Amino acid sequence: MDRLLFTPRTLSGERLQLHVSPQDSRKSRRGKHWKALVTDLDSGLAYLCRGASCGLPRCFCDALVVEIYPSLSDVPEDLQQRLARSEYRYRASGHGLHDRFTRGETLTQRERLRLERWYQERDAAQAVVM
């Protein structure tokens, strides 16, 4: 299987070195109006990334990690559907995405709270099993 190097940075400034599939590599673009879910082939972790500034004026050639999920199956289904719809709209329009979700914003407060609650419930269920 082909493995391509993808090097987004975290919010703390750390540069990650992820090996991703060619399909995931095509999801990342240059410019600030993109958001993609990519999976590291080595660790199996799923990363929600978006376009970011590299530091030069009006240059958005970098990528920033917004969220990290233990695996692709742990990503909430509605988030996967929103990303799929955004990807479809991008291909259909032929230029930048125009919905709120892809303008560099992260999850809404309600979605973040729901995701945190989901992780807490999952961790509690795993603790009971152990």
pLDDT tens digits for range 75-126: 777 777 777 666 544 444 444 333 333 333 455 666 666 766 776 777 777 6
Q: How far is 28 from 78, CA to CA, in rounded Å?
A: 20
Average pLDDT of the residues of the chain: 74
Give pLDDT, residue 98. Answer: 37
Output b/e per residue, 102-125; b: 16+ Cβ within 10 A. Answer: bebeebeeeeeeebeeeeeeeeee
**Which whole number is the average pLDDT over 50-55?**
85
Give the angle subtended at the CA of 98 by the CAs of 94 and 101, to the nearest 5°. 125
Element (H, E) at 123: helix 109-129
Q: How far is 70 from 40, CA to CA, in rounded Å?
A: 11
Q: How far is 89 from 120, CA to CA, in rounded Å?
A: 33
Residue among 51, 53, 13 at smallest CA distance from 35: 51
